[in-house]
């Protein structure tokens, strides 16, 4: 489990909001540990489509697994409010994927209005560009396969309701102010945008 104690101050998110969110993240880490432990012991001979311990553990494993991974992608990219700005290379890459910087911002707002769950900015290897992947209902439902994640925006109510109530607009503003753009730039530089280019 990663230590995100530094996020309790200075991000622009309130302490109760961050504390509640970190507690939830810890819950996913513990559940993933429990599932992993129980899978070692589960009787493979009892696997069954309707019900079986092994089957249920494997079916629920992606919820805990992605719950951990997505929250770490989210928390890893948060920092002090206003500490970083998107540099031209970041703006250029996002603009390439979405047809413009403003278009990217509009797409993020549209994604936020479309789901409770996650809005992910991913490298789409089929179309050779950045795109948005909505993951909703649970942490694994709708997740594109084989698409490196550049940015993870948590749109579950627990991410903002303590501080902002139902005002997603204020949450989005706070998220982008706390976003560590250096992390986004690093992730963008790590993805190979030529992979799969032209296959669709």
Binding site residues, Fe ion, CB under 5 A: 154, 156, 159
Minimum gap (Å) between residue 147 Cβ and Fe ion: 20
Minimum gap (Å) between residue 154 Cβ and Fe ion: 4
Q: Which residue is nearest to Fe ion (CB)?
A: 154
Nearest to 147 by CA among 192, 112, 182: 192
Minimum gap (Å) between residue 118 Cβ and Fe ion: 8
Minimum gap (Å) between residue 159 Cβ and Fe ion: 5
Which of 20/126 has CB closer to Fe ion? 20
Which of 11/97 has CB closer to Fe ion? 11
Which of 107/154 has CB closer to Fe ion? 154
Which of 22/184 has CB closer to Fe ion? 22
Nearest to 159 by CA among 144, 170, 147, 149: 170
Distances (CA, A) of 25 to 22, 30, 31: 5, 9, 10
């Amino acid at each position: 489990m990663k230590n995100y104690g530094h996020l309790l101050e200075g991000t622009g998110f309130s302490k109760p909001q961050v504390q509640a969110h970190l507690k939830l993240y810890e819950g996913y880490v513990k559940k993933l540990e429990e599932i992993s432990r129980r899978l070692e012991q589960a009787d493979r001979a009892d696997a069954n489509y309707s019900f079986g311990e092994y089957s249920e553990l494997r079916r629920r494993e992606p919820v805990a697994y992605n719950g951990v991974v997505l929250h770490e992608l989210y928390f890893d990219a948060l920092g002090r409010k206003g500490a970083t700005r998107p540099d031209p290379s970041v703006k250029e890459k996002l603009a390439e994927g979405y047809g413009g910087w403003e278009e990217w911002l509009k797409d993020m707002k549209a994604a936020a209005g479309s789901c409770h769950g996650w809005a992910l900015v991913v490298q789409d290897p089929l179309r050779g560009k950045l795109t948005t992947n909505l993951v909703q209902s649970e942490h694994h439902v709708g997740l594109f396969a084989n698409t490196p994640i550049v940015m993870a925006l948590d749109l579950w109510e627990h991410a903002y309701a303590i501080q902002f109530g139902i005002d997603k607009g204020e949450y989005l503003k706070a998220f982008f102010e706390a976003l560590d753009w250096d992390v986004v730039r690093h992730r963008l530089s790590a993805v190979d945008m030529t992979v799969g280019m032209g296959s669709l």
